[in-house]
Structure 1
C-alpha cells in the first residue's frame, strides 16, 4: 500500500487504522497514475454512528483520489479545460498542413518544369485534400472510440458531440466529396498515373485505421503515412498541376522522387510524435504503435536521428544537384526548428502534459520545411 497524507482528504474523516482503507490503482484521463481510496462498508457504518448529523452530511461516499497537491492541481486543471479549447483540439487545424504541403510542393515542382501554375485546379485540389484529411480525422476518432483507445480522450469528436453515428456520417460525406473532387480533376487532366497514385494514397489511409485492417494497431501507421503523403500524393499533385492541353505527361525524375521523400519524412514524424502522451492508453487497448514497442526514451532517440537523417538527405540531394541550390539553402534555414523539436522531445518525453505539444512542434517543422522547399523550386525557375 502506498503511503498517503490524510491531510489531503477533503470532507472526509480519519480512519482508526490503515486497514480501514482499501487502495486500488487507477488511470486518469491523461495517463498519470494515481490511487483511489474507497471506504469499506464496515468502517463507513461504524464511523457514521460515531459522528453527529451535521458532520455526516459532509461525508464523501464516492472514491477519493490521493495525490500530491501538485498532481491534484493538474487533475483539476485537466478536468476544467474549456469546451472551446477542446473543440479547437478536436478540429486539429494545424494538422491540415499535411494536405497543403504535398500539394504545394507538387505545384512548385510542376512550375519548375513547365512554368505553369493552374490556380483553379490548385484550389479544387486543396479543397478536396482538406475533405480527405477531415475524413481521416473523423473516422480515426470513430474507430478509436470503438476499440476504447479514445474512451478518456476529451477532445475526441465522438465524445464531444456524443454521437458515434453522426461523426461517422460526417466522415463518409467528407470522403465522398473529397474523392469526387480528386477524380474530377484527374479526369480533367486525363492523367491515369495521377489517378492511380491518389487511389493508392487513399487506400493507405483506409487500411491505416478502418476495420478489418487497422494496421496502425500493428505499428504500421508511420510507413503508411510516409507512402501516402510522400511518394503517392506529392507525385500525383505534381502530375495534375503540370498538365495542360500541350503537355499531358511530365517526367517522374529523381528530383520529384527525392522531394516526395522529404515530404513523407516530415509528415510521418508528426504521426510518430503524436503517440508520446498516449503510450499507456494505446497499450491498454492493444494498439502497438512504434512508441508502445520502443518506449518513450528510445522514441526520443528515434526522433533525434530521424531529423538528422532528414537534413543529411537534404545535404546529399543538394550536393549531387538532384535538388536545385535554392531549395537546399532555403530548407537548411529550418535547421534550428528541427534541432528545437529534437531537444524538446528528448527533454520532455516522460512528461505527458508537455510532450503533448510535440506533434504541434513537428507540424511547424513540416510546414516550414515544405514552404522552404516550394520557394526554392520557384526561385530556381
Structure 2
C-alpha cells in the first residue's frame, strides 16, 4: 500500500498532469514528521525527479487515512498587524460619533475637545479589552496555536497584562474626568456599566463569553450604555446639564449595539475549532459555521429593515437614514463572503490508495 499525495497545493517543482500514473514516496526528516522532498516515480518504479516543497507536517490516523498540513510562513509585519487588530477600534469610534451626532441634532453643540478626550479614553479601553482577552485566552489554551496572540509574540504574559491594566486605568481616568467636568452622574453610571460588561465578558472568575454570552454583553456595552453615555456627555453644557433621552437616541444606540454584536459574531468563524477544544461555547460554536452563515445573512437583512422602519417613521432623521443605507453594499459583501467561505480550511490532504 502506498500513499498517493495530491499535488495541487505544491507551488514548487513538477506537477503531474495525470496523478493516477505517478506514485509519491515522501522522505521524512529525522524527527519523522516533516517532509522536505517528494520523490515522484512512474508506473515502473523509476524515479522521475524530486519535488522541493515547503515544510509539510503529517498527523497519522492509523492505516485508514492521514492529514497533512502545510505550515505558512507569515511575515512578522503581518503578524503585528493582526495583533494590533486596528479594525476593532471602530467600536470605539462608532458609539462616540453616533452619540456626538445625536447630541448635535438635539443641542446644536459639538464639543471638539471633549470629543477628543473621550476618543483617546475609548481607544485605551479597547486596548485593555484586546490585551486582556489575549492574556486570558492564553491561560485557557484558546490561543495556544494563535501566532498573532500578543502574549505569544512578546513572550510575556505578565508584561501583556501590565500593559492591559495600564490602558484600563488611563482610559477610566479620562472618562471619569470628562464626566465630572460635565457634571453628569448618569453618564458615569452608564460608562461604568459598559466597562463592567467588558470585564465579565472575558476576565476570571466570570468569563461569560465561554458560556455564549459574549454577544449580549457586547450589545449592551457598546449600544445602550456607551452610545447613550457619550450622547449625554457631548450634549452637556453650562446651559443644559440634563439632556432628554429621545427615541432617536435610544434607537440609534440599539442599532449600534446590534451592529457591534454582529461584528463580534463574525469574528469567530476562523476559530471555531480552537474555541470548541477549550470549552468556549460561543453562539457560533453551538450553531456551527453553516447555520452561523445563515444567521449572518438574516441578521444583516433585519438590521437594514430596522433602519428603514426607523427612517420611514421619522424616528431617525432622513439624512442619517440615507447615509446608513450607503453601507448596504458592504453588508451584502459580508453576507455573501461568509456564506461562500464559512467551510474553507487550509488542509493539505493525503488519500490512501491500494497499489
Match of 1:45 in 2: none
Structure 2: unaligned runs, 5 residues or longer: 6-22, 36-55, 61-66, 347-355
Match of 2:152 in 1: 159
Match of 1:318 in 2: 311
Distance in 1 (CA, whole Å) between partners of 2:301 and 2:143 is: 33
**Matched positions, count:** 302
Match of 1:238 in 2: 231
Q: What secondary structure is seen at the aligned counterpart in 2 of 1:10? A: strand
Match of 1:33 in 2: none
Q: For 1:282, which of 266, 275, 278 is the aligned residue?
A: 275
After TM superposition, the structure 1 = structure 2 runs for residues 79-158 of structure 1, keeping only pairs within 5 Å, are 80-158=73-151
Give the drift of 1:309. Answer: 0.6
Structure having the larger proportion of residues in helix: 1
Distance in 2 (CA, whole Å) between partners of 1:215 and 1:252 is: 30
Match of 1:222 in 2: 215
Deviations 1:103-158 (A, max 9, x none): 01100110101110101100100000000000000000000000000000000000
Distance in 2 (CA, whole Å) between partners of 1:10 and 1:66 is: 15
Task: State the TM-score, normalizing by the size of structure 2.
Answer: 0.81
Deviations 1:8-38 (A, max 9, x none): 623569xxxxxxxx9xxxxxxxxxxxxx699
Q: For 2:341, which of 348, 353, 357 is the aligned residue?
A: 348
Structure 1: unaligned runs, 5 residues or longer: 14-21, 23-35, 39-62, 354-381
- Retained in 1: the 8 A contact 2:107–2:235? yes
Distance in 1 (CA, whole Å) between partners of 2:345 and 2:217 is: 26
Task: State the TM-score, normalizing by the size of structure 1.
Answer: 0.76
Give the drift of 1:285. Answer: 0.4
Q: What secondary structure is seen at the aligned counterpart in 1 of 2:58? A: strand
Q: What secondary structure is seen at the aligned counterpart in 2 of 1:350? A: coil
Match of 1:168 in 2: 161
Distance 1:143 1:251, change over 3 A: same
Structure having the larger proportion of residues in strand: 2
1:211 aligns with 2:228: no
Match of 2:19 in 1: none
- Retained in 2: the 8 A contact 1:9–1:66? no
- Retained in 2: the 8 A contact 1:300–1:345? yes
Deviations 1:294-313 (A, max 9, x none): 00000000000110010010
Q: For 2:254, which of 253, 261, 266 is the aligned residue?
A: 261
Distance in 2 (CA, whole Å) between partners of 1:121 and 1:180 is: 14
Give the drift of 1:352. Answer: 4.0
Q: What secondary structure is seen at the aligned counterpart in 1 of 2:70? A: helix
- Retained in 2: the 8 A contact 1:4–1:66? no
Distance 1:11 1:297, change over 3 A: closer
Distance in 1 (CA, whole Å) between partners of 2:206 and 2:326 is: 40
Match of 1:362 in 2: none
- Retained in 1: the 8 A contact 2:80–2:148? yes
Match of 1:298 in 2: 291
Distance 1:118 1:347, change over 3 A: same
